[in-house]
């Protein structure tokens, strides 16, 4: 297996192609990257900016450069001894346009389509209008309105000889069974002759080749005779006349799809979606023929050596993740006779391990991003910030409360159809047993709801129909909560559902029902009969399959519910501190101790030493340096609370009524009856503090305007994701406009001496501590057990917000220009830290160390080091050892107080920074560096093996000595940089 030393994630699309990346390979190599890590390369919906809406698994995206462009990129990588990791999307395909041939085929042929079993469609819907059909929730308004408005029409494609229902850019194929009637409607002899070729067709596979031949004849006829005849046919289905419109309606009703208003999807969709996105359809990759079809291209590219490893997108969406990973690794091993490198995108809860029986190299790094992010936070800030949040907004101080409300809302409003489908699966099991057949669908749905909303992690992974101990750790939490929430009358059904969902309790074999008792039978006889029936009633032969189906549907429901309710709803409602509201994180978990961080690294080193380590991704809600800066607020909780209140008062005149009109005051008994409202306003201030560029001045009108446009984009998404006053399903445009006006009002040029000055001054006040946090986070990612992953552009400061902001074009040319000569330590750039070159230098130097001593940081033992002295809590230290080679990693942490003690950052320095008149570069008052003397007696207890060895800092010219045989004093080790990576004398510096 070729294990990467480091990866760099690139987002490919038509604006950044394989050839664009090839032109930057020299830079990536000079930076120290060993493998590019590409977004999906298969063909996606036209214009896709991310590639996760695959429409053709068999072709490399032409928009990204096609296979020829990919080969040119790989050739350039190979010339620098670099590799390629590719993101693949086995869980779902894009079906929102007209480019997915598999999807169009099932719309055309229904259950008899070649691809009918490729997608997870419920062909046996309890809704008679959907039996044998696919719901297409595509229409912008109710079906009848769109039909009457003439926006739905019958059309003909001359190049393919196909009739289809057209709606805007959408194409919905008409089944060839109906072609005969369509062609005969114009009452023309030539068309009637063509119609005869379609007579007697059925949807059976055996008839489909005849249909293709007949279509060819129709296509040739139109090419020879022109469109006039076909136009006469289309006129007979014209939507602008009541008679022909009715004929069009009846034709549509006969198709294998049902056109519907997009709002129907949440309640009625009869196929599995990706989360609640009705343009992404779930793929049944657990079926062998589908697995082969999905991976044909990737396997070929891997066999040919173009691809070196895979990243599996949303593994929790698959029916059987374990079996999928096993099959994938086996096939790839057969193709190249070597163990492939495979990582999975998986969100892990605190304490939830990645399963050992998945043959993968680890996750894509959300777990590390959570750990290192929590480490930046001062636990003392948790309660005061929660208290302030509750007082200002009237919302709960506990994230768990918001999460539960959000789970119920999403389940009821966004995933209702998915809940119904899982409940029906349980109801079918109940009907198969005499002693459970009276459990109603409504009862089982109610029970299932409570289990799902209380399920604490993404999903369970039963094997052979049974949950294991690891599953039960989390299922038992949901079971206990459901038991406490449901009425006692539902407890029997709850216990039965628990058994069906894999607790291992089986019913006894089936037996004939006992004779019915007369109404006058004694109670004891009736009771005895019931007991005998309960004992004898058991599952029918297909019960095992039915239970596994129910377990799969349960797992494929809890996963999207967790994602939509937590990441895409509650994280936009709860604002104690937004730096903890990130993908893969639990905002209820505020901070992580040094000991807990070490424990996580030790576990990763032991179980998944080649997992990716990420601090930024294409899905992050806030850039890594936004989060690092916001974490500083945990250290000054009282000051930040006072600042929030002051800014709220200062900006009250900018508030708008809910209809968007200006207001000057708000009554105390209607605190949230204005735009944006207290919660959204408090989160807006955090966002502005977090993403304000380090070099932006309050009087820079163009710069502030550019920032306002970016934040406005974030604000709209945040408001709609919160689903309180507005949402994607029901946008309140007046309220949204009022929120936008508030934002632009507080950032208006006339506020340069008011709020803008206060904002920029506050950012300058915490900016140094934020930069120090960023450098700490960067070093820990590059030196911890695992494979460091960089997201495009984050080599410099990353003050991006949620997508699409975090997918803006990257100025790689600037970054390449700023690469330092190999002998230049990053400490040379600390004085100009605001431009981000110091971060780039740290990344470049530590990747050089990973290249120079690859085994040390990829395989080396991880040794937490004890710290003693006055400021021991402000340091994290560990060593990596491989053979006789050592590296000692040190980082300042929670340093706001020490930075304040070293210089009046809240006074003249902050004001000067905000005004653009910087203090003297090189003074500690203006650097993200603790004054060395302030460390006093703080020292790291060094391993005995290093007591007599000379150590040199890979990041600065420092060469600190170990005193007293075992102590390394921070005043020496962190004199030039807030972080250090110490290696032995004799290690080359280049």
| pLDDT (tens digit per residue) in 629-642 | 999 999 999 999 99
Tell me the residue ranges of DSSP E strands in 114-205. Answer: 134-139, 152-157, 162-167, 170-173
pLDDT of residue 989: 45
pLDDT of residue 790: 98
Model confidence pLDDT, tens digit, residues 407-454 = 999 999 999 999 999 999 999 999 999 999 999 999 999 999 999 999
* Residue 945 burial (CB count, 10 A): 11
User: Taking residues 568-594, what's their average pLDDT?
Assistant: 97
Model confidence pLDDT, tens digit, residues 701-741 = 999 999 999 999 999 999 999 999 999 999 999 999 999 99
Judge whether 714 lies within some domain.
no
pLDDT of residue 823: 82
pLDDT band at 256 (very low <50, low <70, confident <90, very high): very high
What is the phi-psi region of residue 710: left when phi exceeds 0, alpha when psi lies from -120 to 50, beta otherwise? Answer: alpha
State yes or no: pLDDT of 911 exceeds 80: no
Domain residues for the domain of 303 are: 8-91+283-364
pLDDT band at 291 (very low <50, low <70, confident <90, very high): very high
pTM: 0.93
Judge whether 704 lies within some domain.
no
Are residues 122 and 236 located together in one domain of the fold? yes
Which residues lie below 8 Å from residue 309, measured CB to CB, with a gap of 6+? 2, 4, 35, 83, 85, 86, 340, 341, 342, 343
pLDDT of residue 906: 45
Can you tell me which residue has the tokens 């409003």?
413
User: Taking residues 456-480, what's their average pLDDT?
Assistant: 96
State yes or no: pLDDT of 963 exceeds 70: yes
* Residue 905 burial (CB count, 10 A): 22
Tokens, residue 828: 């040379």
Contact 328, 55 (CB under 8 A): no
Tokens, residue 960: 């600190």
Judge whether 628 lies within some domain.
no
Distances (CA, A) of 394 to 248, 391, 627, 832: 54, 6, 25, 42
Choosing from 521, 547, 567, the residue where a domain stops is: 567
Judge whether 617 lies within some domain.
no
Are residues 31 and 127 located together in one domain of the fold? no
Model confidence pLDDT, tens digit, residues 393-409 = 999 999 999 999 999 99
Burial of 129 per CB tally in 10 Å (0-12, 13-18, 19+): exposed
Of the given ranges (197-211, 255-269, 510-524), which has the lowest mean pLDDT?
510-524
pLDDT of residue 261: 97
Residue 223 and residue 552: Cα distance in Å, rounded? 50
Are residues 262 and 289 located together in one domain of the fold? no
Give the neighbor-by-neighbor strand order of the sheet with 939-941.
Answer: 867-868, 939-941, 967-969
Residue 891 and residue 899: Cα distance in Å, rounded? 14
Are residues 131 and 35 located together in one domain of the fold? no
pLDDT of residue 923: 57
Are residues 259 and 289 located together in one domain of the fold? no
Are residues 262 and 295 located together in one domain of the fold? no
Contact 297, 59 (CB under 8 A): yes
| Cα-to-chain-centroid distance, residue 173 | 33
Collapsing DSSP states into helix, strand and coil, what is residue 949?
coil
Are residues 229 and 330 located together in one domain of the fold? no
Of the given ranges (126-130, 297-301, 320-324), which has the lowest mean pLDDT?
126-130
Model confidence pLDDT, tens digit, residues 917-946 = 444 344 567 999 999 999 999 999 999 988
| pLDDT > 90 in the chain, percent | 89
Burial of 509 per CB tally in 10 Å (0-12, 13-18, 19+): exposed
Which residues lie below 8 Å from residue 567, measured CB to CB, with a gap of 6+? 583, 621
State yes or no: pLDDT of 516 exceeds 90: no
| pLDDT > 70 in the chain, percent | 92
Residue 900 and residue 620: Cα distance in Å, rounded? 31
pLDDT band at 947 (very low <50, low <70, confident <90, very high): confident
Are residues 262 and 132 located together in one domain of the fold? yes
Q: Find residue 939's DSSP bridge partners.
A: 868, 969
What domain count does the chain have? 4
* Residue 96 burial (CB count, 10 A): 18
Can you tell me which residue has the tokens 């402000």?
874
pLDDT of residue 506: 53
Q: Is the peptide bond before 804 cis (omega within 30 degrees of 0)?
A: yes
User: Taking residues 574-591, what's their average pLDDT?
Assistant: 97
Judge whether 2 lies within some domain.
no
Judge whether 383 lies within some domain.
no
pLDDT of residue 42: 98
CATH number at residue 133: 3.30.1590.10
DSSP output for 389-427: HHHHH-S-S-HHHHHHHHHHHHHHHTSHHHHHHHHHHHH
Q: How high does pLDDT run on average in the chain?
A: 92
Are residues 267 and 347 located together in one domain of the fold? no
pLDDT band at 672 (very low <50, low <70, confident <90, very high): low
State yes or no: pLDDT of 274 exceeds 90: yes
Are residues 876 and 853 located together in one domain of the fold? yes
Are residues 435 and 553 located together in one domain of the fold? yes
Contact 465, 572 (CB under 8 A): no
Residue 681 and residue 669: Cα distance in Å, rounded? 18
pLDDT band at 614 (very low <50, low <70, confident <90, very high): very high
How many alpha carbons lie under 13 Å from residue 7 in its C-beta half-sphere? 35
Residue 383 and residue 87: Cα distance in Å, rounded? 40
| Positive or negative: CA dihedral 547, 552, 555, 560 | negative
Choosing from 235, 254, 274, the residue where a domain stops is: 274
Choosing from 274, 300, 335, the residue where a domain stops is: 274
pLDDT band at 660 (very low <50, low <70, confident <90, very high): confident
Residue 878 and residue 864: Cα distance in Å, rounded? 4
Phi, psi angles (nearest 5°) of residue 867: -120, 140
User: Taking residues 785-801, what's their average pLDDT?
Assistant: 98
pLDDT of residue 664: 58
Judge whether 142 lies within some domain.
yes
Q: Is the peptide bond before 395 cis (omega within 30 degrees of 0)?
A: no
What is the widest separation between alpha-carbon atoms in the chain?
106
Judge whether 809 lies within some domain.
no
DSSP output for 858-886: HHPEEEE--EESTTGGGEEEEEEEETTEE
Closest CA to 284 of 646, 665, 552: 552
pLDDT of residue 508: 39
Contact 642, 723 (CB under 8 A): no
Are residues 238 and 139 located together in one domain of the fold? yes
Contact 26, 107 (CB under 8 A): no
pLDDT band at 1 (very low <50, low <70, confident <90, very high): low
State yes or no: pLDDT of 520 exceeds 60: no
Angle, vertex CA 734, rays to CA 733 and CA 739, nearest 5 = 95
């Amino acid at each position: 297996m070729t294990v990467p030393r480091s990866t760099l994630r690139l987002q490919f699309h038509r604006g950044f192609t394989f050839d664009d990346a090839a032109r930057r390979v020299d830079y990536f190599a000079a930076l120290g990257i060993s493998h590019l890590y590409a977004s999906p390369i298969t063909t996606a919906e036209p214009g896709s900016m991310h590639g996760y809406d695959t429409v053709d698994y068999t072709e490399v995206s032409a928009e990204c450069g096609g296979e020829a462009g990919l080969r040119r990129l790989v050739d350039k990588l190979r010339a620098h001894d670099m590799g390629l990791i590719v993101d693949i999307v086995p869980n779902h395909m894009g079906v929102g346009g007209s480019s997915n041939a598999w999807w169009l085929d099932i719309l055309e042929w229904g259950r008899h389509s070649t691809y009918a079993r490729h997608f997870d469609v419920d062909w046996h819907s309890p809704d008679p209008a959907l039996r044998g059909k696919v719901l297409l929730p595509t229409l912008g308004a109710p079906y009848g309105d769109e039909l009457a408005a003439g926006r739905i029409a019958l059309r003909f494609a001359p190049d393919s000889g196909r009739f289809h229902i057209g709606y805007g850019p959408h194409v919905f194929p008409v089944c060839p069974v109906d072609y005969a009637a369509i062609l005969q409607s114009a009452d023309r002899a030539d068309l009637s002759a063509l119609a005869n070729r379609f007579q007697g067709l059925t949807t059976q596979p055996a008839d489909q080749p005849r249909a293709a031949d007949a279509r060819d004849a129709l296509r040739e006829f139109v090419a020879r005779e022109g469109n006039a005849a076909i136009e006469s046919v289309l006129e007979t289905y014209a939507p602008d006349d009541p008679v022909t419109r009715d004929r069009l309606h009846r034709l549509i009703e006969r198709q294998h799809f049902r056109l519907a208003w997009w709002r129907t999807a949440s309640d009625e969709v009869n196929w599995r979606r990706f989360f609640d996105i009705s343009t992404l359809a779930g793929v049944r990759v657990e079926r062998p023929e589908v697995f082969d079809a999905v991976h044909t291209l990737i396997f070929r590219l891997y066999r040919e050596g173009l691809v070196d490893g895979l990243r599996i997108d949303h593994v929790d969406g698959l029916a059987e993740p374990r079996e999928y990973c096993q099959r994938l690794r086996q096939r790839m091993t057969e193709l190249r006779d070597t163990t492939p490198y495979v990582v999975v995108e998986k969100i892990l809860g605190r304490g939830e391990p990645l399963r050992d029986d998945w043959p993968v190299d680890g996750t894509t790094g959300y777990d590390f991003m959570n750990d290192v992010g929590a480490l930046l936070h001062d636990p003392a800030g948790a309660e005061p910030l929660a208290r302030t949040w509750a007082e200002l907004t009237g919302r709960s101080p506990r994230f768990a409360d918001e999460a539960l409300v959000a789970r119920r809302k999403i389940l009821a409003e966004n995933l209702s159809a998915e809940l119904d489908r899982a409940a029906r699966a349980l109801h079918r099991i109940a009907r198969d047993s005499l002693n459970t057949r009276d459990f109603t669908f409504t009862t089982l749905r109610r029970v299932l709801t409570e289990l799902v909303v209380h399920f604490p992690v993404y999903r369970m992974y039963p094997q052979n129909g049974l949950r294991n101990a690891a599953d039960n750790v989390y299922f038992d939490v949901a079971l206990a909560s459901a038991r406490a929430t449901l009425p006692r009358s539902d407890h029997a059904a709850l216990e039965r559902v628990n058994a069906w969902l894999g607790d291992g309790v089986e019913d006894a074999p089936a037996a004939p029902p006992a004779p019915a008792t007369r109404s006058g039978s004694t109670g004891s006889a009736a009771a005895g009969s019931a007991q005998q029936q309960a004992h004898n009633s058991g599952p029918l032969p297909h019960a095992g399959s039915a239970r596994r189906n129910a377990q799969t549907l349960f797992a494929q429901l809890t996963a999207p519910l967790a994602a939509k309710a937590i990441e895409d709803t509650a994280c936009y409602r709860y604002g104690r501190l937004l730096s903890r509201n990130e993908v893969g994180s639990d905002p209820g978990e505020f901070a992580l101790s040094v000991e807990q961080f070490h424990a996580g690294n030790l576990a990763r080193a032991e179980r998944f030493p080649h997992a990716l380590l990420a601090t930024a991704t294409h899905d992050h809600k806030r850039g890594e340096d936004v989060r690092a800066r916001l974490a500083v607020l945990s250290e000054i909780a009282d000051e930040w609370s006072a600042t929030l209140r002051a800014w709220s008062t200062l900006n009250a005149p900018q508030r708008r009524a809910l209809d968007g009109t200006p207001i000057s005051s708000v009554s105390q008994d209607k605190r949230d009856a204005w735009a944006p409202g207290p919660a959204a306003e408090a989160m807006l201030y955090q966002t502005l503090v977090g993403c304000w560029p380090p070099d932006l001045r309050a009087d820079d009108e163009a710069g502030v305007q550019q920032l306002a446009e970016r934040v406005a984009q974030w604000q709209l998404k945040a408001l709609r994701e919160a689903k309180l006053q507005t949402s994607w399903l029901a946008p309140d445009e007046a309220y949204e406009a009022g929120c936008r006006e508030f934002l632009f009002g507080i950032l208006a040029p006339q506020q340069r001496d008011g709020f803008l000055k206060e904002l920029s001054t506050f950012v300058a006040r915490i900016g140094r501590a934020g930069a120090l946090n960023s450098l700490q986070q960067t070093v820990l990612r590059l030196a911890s057990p695992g494979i460091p992953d960089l997201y495009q552009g984050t080599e410099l400061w990353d003050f991006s917000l949620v997508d699409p902001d975090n997918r803006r074009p990257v100025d790689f040319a600037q970054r390449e220009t700023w690469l330092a000569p190999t002998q230049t330590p990053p400490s040379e750039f600390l004085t100009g830290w605001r431009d981000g070159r110091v971060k780039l230098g740290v990344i470049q130097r530590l990747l050089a160390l990973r290249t120079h001593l690859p085994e040390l940081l990829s395989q080396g033992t991880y040794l937490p080091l004890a710290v003693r002295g006055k400021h021991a809590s402000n340091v994290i230290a560990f060593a990596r050892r491989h053979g006789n080679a050592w590296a000692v990693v040190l980082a300042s942490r929670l340093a706001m107080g020490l930075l304040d003690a070293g210089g009046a950052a809240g006074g003249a320095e902050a004001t000067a920074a905000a005004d653009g008149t910087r203090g003297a570069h090189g003074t500690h008052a203006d650097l993200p560096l603790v004054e060395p003397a302030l460390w006093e007696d703080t020292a790291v207890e060094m391993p005995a093996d290093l007591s007599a060895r000379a150590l040199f800092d890979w990041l600065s010219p420092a060469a600190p000595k170990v005193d007293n045989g075992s102590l390394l004093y921070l005043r020496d080790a962190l004199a030039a940089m807030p972080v250090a990576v110490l290696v032995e004398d004799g290690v080359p510096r280049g």
